[in-house]
Structure 1
Amino acid sequence: MVSQAGEQLLQKTELFVRLLPDDFQCVCTLSEELTLPPGVTLFSPGETATRFYILIRGTVRVFKRKEGREEELALFTAGDTVGDFDFARQGRYDAFAETVEETDLICFPAARFSLADITRQYPSTMARVLLQSLAMIANRIRTTQRLISRNVPWVQELQRQAFEDPGTGLWNRTFFEEELPQMLSMPVGLIMTKPDRFKVLVDSCGHSAGDEAMVKIAALLQYLVRNYGKGWALRLKSNETALVLPGCSPTILRSMAEELYQRFLQIPPVGLPDGTTFTFSATVVYGLWGEEKKDSPALWKEYAQTVYDTLMNRWQEGGNGVYPAFPC
């Protein structure tokens, strides 16, 4: 729990500024205020970013160690937030953070809580915090790009961390929803796919088998993008993926959807513990956006949602085929 002054700081924090009152009170309950002496390490490179800190008083320095020497990256003082970007992207810290002097700060979540535990206990609140974190990441990337050349290596690395799915190397849903609409030139081919009976594989062989299968599926998508010469391969949710193909004709779009389906069928079968074999197939839905005069970047999300809804409907009906999102 935090003091009234601590609550005021939390309310100004980018991750919590738009939370509903009940959600915000939950965040306050899950936070704690600490007074730390100089030289205390808050986090180190490689550690999973399970919490972040808001300074009330004092100073924290962030630095890296290279060849026995320390390279100072930033100094944070009262009102600053430390580690929130790594926390928001659920990644790992890439530097050290250490108190310079006696420092009062707020820690979220408190040390006695694990992120997994509070997510299970307060799923709705943490879901809204996660949604706000995605918006924060996208906003910071856009702000950085306005200030600094996109070709600066550390900006490119920031983009990669924010927009890449760590399990497959595909572009992620945040990129699909926040950045991609600004980069599209019409017409755009959109192919969405979902493997059939995937739960059978995961329930029988474990999540590691599902992860391995997703890596193979990602390779199929990336191959098709390379072969087409442009576009994006994306992971939208757990096992739902997409291809976005700018400048695509109806004939090529249909052909690529068919090829993707055939390549799913060619993924090597997996032997199950009960002696049976899991063979791969997929539900593939495609649509061409930008043919109508009414189409505009502002309508991209609405169009993509329609294609996704068609995908899920076809998959629930049995899938295992290629379907147009808008039948003629």
Structure 2
Amino acid sequence: MKDLLNLLKKTGIFSQLTGEELEILAGNSELREYGSEETVFETGDPASELFVVSSGEVSVSRITEEGKSLQLARLIEGDMFGELEFFQREAHNASAKAGANGSTVLLQFPKEGLNFQDLLSAYPAISARILHAFISLIAGRIRRTNNLITDNSPVIQELKRQVYGDTLTGLFNKTYLDEQLHTFLKNPGEPVSLLMIKPDNFKWINDNCGHDAGDETIRVLAGAYAEELGERGTAVRYMGNEFAFVFPSLDRNGAHETARRLQELVGSLDLSAVTGSGDFRLTASVGIAVFPLHARDAAALIAEAHELPLLGRARGGGKILFPEDKEAAGGS
């Protein structure tokens, strides 16, 4: 009985009960010993008890659609499990078994042969306090989960960095532009310019200096672009040596002027440390698509701008093109 009382006192939903109430609870609980890897319950079993680990450990797992066992949790001394299904009177949605290293002892409430509904009727005050503690426990879990998944939480920021970050440059990647550009396009009355820039003669670096030199050049470009943009726009390494820039509130004329400055920036870069020669200079072509002038959704806006730098290179390089320049030999 003493072991039961000590364990109940340490368990969250029982810790606020009085000594007398804990003794009643202990009298309706029991300690059960399980052998190595012995099953506690299976998926689909009725949840007629809740458990607390007294000693040893418990593995909770579920079978995936592929038929493989997926471990959801490893529980140790003091951990409670099965309580959610128990209080909701649902079947278990996972299986639990004792650990593989020796025996495991679990507190089981209520003990074998007792029904929780009967205990509710026999001890309404205790039952009400336990249920209130359970509701508080669940509410606390929800609050912690909500805090965990807020946009500004460190966990979510790290996940976003991994999903949307380009490992070579530290800029955003193609996935970011494909999935998040739509968030910039909420007001049809406010222009958003998408610029996509690609060096015309980048192949010379890869062919003559190697792909490591090509990667280093991409890093140099990324650093220069980020410094030039500051807080005015969002820079993305889109594909290979092609970069994209999103500029809220920038109209057609402003986008053209920005593209011209970016071309000048590319042409001014000193790549002698990469190429071994101070004579080589990059040139670049830029494609521009403006929302809602050229497209009214993100995918279409990207499609309009993405093909233009290659077209600019085919026309001799150093071009700034809009979608309307595709048919005629236009552009600047």
Q: TM-score, normalised by structure 1?
A: 0.52
Question: Which residue of the partner structure matches residue 42 of structure 1?
Answer: none
- Quickly say closer, same or farther: Cα 1:234–1:274, change in 2 above 3 A: closer
Residue 224 (structure 1) aligned with residue 228 (structure 2):
yes
Aligned to 1:240: 242
The CA distance in 1 between the partners of 2:146 and 2:175, in whole Å, is: 16
Q: Residue type of the partner of 1:237?
A: M
Whole-Å separation in 2 of the counterparts to 1:222 and 1:246: 16
The answer to whether 1:200 aligns with 2:198 is no
Q: Contact (CA 8 Å) 1:58, 1:101: kept in 2 or not?
A: no
Query: How far, CA to CA, are the matches of 1:252 and 1:223 in structure 2?
Result: 19
TM-aligned CA distance change 1:61 to 1:272, over 3 Å: same
Shift of the 147–212 alpha-carbon distance from structure 1 to 2, 3 Å rule, reads: same
**Out of 274, 285, 288, which is 2:287 matched to?**
285
> Contact 1:201/1:278 (CA < 8 Å) preserved in 2?
no
Task: Tell me the matched-pair count.
Answer: 201
Which whole-Å CA distance do the structure 2 matches of 1:270 and 1:311 have between them? Answer: 25
Partners of 2:70 and 2:165 in 1: how far apart? 35
SS at match of 2:68: strand
Aligned to 2:319: 321
**Amino acid corresponding to residue 57 of structure 1 in structure 2:** S
Distance 1:145 1:315 in 2: 49
After superposition, the Cα gap between the structure-2 partners of 1:269 and 1:152, relative to the gap in structure 1 and judged at 3 Å, is closer
CA contact (8 A) 1:59 1:101 kept: no
C-alpha separation between the residues in 2 aligned to 1:182 and 1:147?
23
- In structure 2, what is the Cα distance between the partners aligned to 1:232 and 1:164? 13
What is the CA distance between 1:249 and its match in structure 2? 2.4
Aligned AA for 2:176?
F
Q: 2:218 is matched with which residue?
A: 214
Other structure's SS at 1:285 match? strand
Q: Could you tell me which residue of structure 2 aligns to residue 177 of structure 1?
A: 178
Superposition TM-score, scaled by structure 2 size: 0.51
**Gapped regions of structure 1 (runs ≥ 5):** 1-53, 63-77, 80-99, 103-143
List runs of 5+ in structure 2 lacking aligned partners: 1-65, 75-92, 102-144
Q: Does 1:190 align with 2:188?
A: no
Give the match's secondary structure for 2:324.
coil
1:57 aligned to 2:69? Answer: yes
Instruction: Give the CA deviation at 1:321.
Output: 2.9
Structure showing greater radius of gyration is 2
Structure 1 residues 276 and 204: alpha-carbon distance in aligned structure 2, compared to 1, 3 A threshold: farther
Report the alpha carbon displacement of residue 303 of structure 1 after superposing the two structures with TM.
2.3
- The structure-2 alpha-carbon separation of the partners of 1:240 and 1:273, relative to structure 1 and needing over 3 Å to count, comes to closer
Q: Are the structure 2 counterparts of residues 147 and 269 from structure 1 closer, same or farther at C-alpha, using a change threshold of 3 Å?
A: closer
Which residue pairs with 2:307 in the alignment? 309
Contact kept, 8 Å, 1:232 with 1:245, in 2: the verdict is yes
CA gap 1:205/1:326 in 2 versus in 1, 3 angstroms: same
Q: C-alpha separation between the residues in 1 aligned to 2:70 and 2:320? A: 60
Q: CA deviation at 1:284?
A: 1.5
- What is the alpha-carbon distance in structure 2 between the residues aligned to residue 287 and residue 145 of structure 1? 38
Contact conserved, 2:213 with 2:274, CA < 8 A, in 1?
no
Give the alignment of 1:93-242 within 5 angstroms: 148-185=149-186, 186-226=190-230, 229-242=231-244
| Contact 1:271-1:278 at 8 Å conserved across structures | no
Question: Relative to structure 1, is the Cα distance of residues 202 and 61 closer, same or farther in structure 2, using a 3 angstrom cutoff?
Answer: farther
Residue range with higher mean Cα deviation, 283-292 or 305-314: 283-292
* Distance in 1 between residues matched to 2:302 and 2:191, nearest whole Å: 14
Root-mean-square deviation (CA, aligned residues, Å) is: 4.0
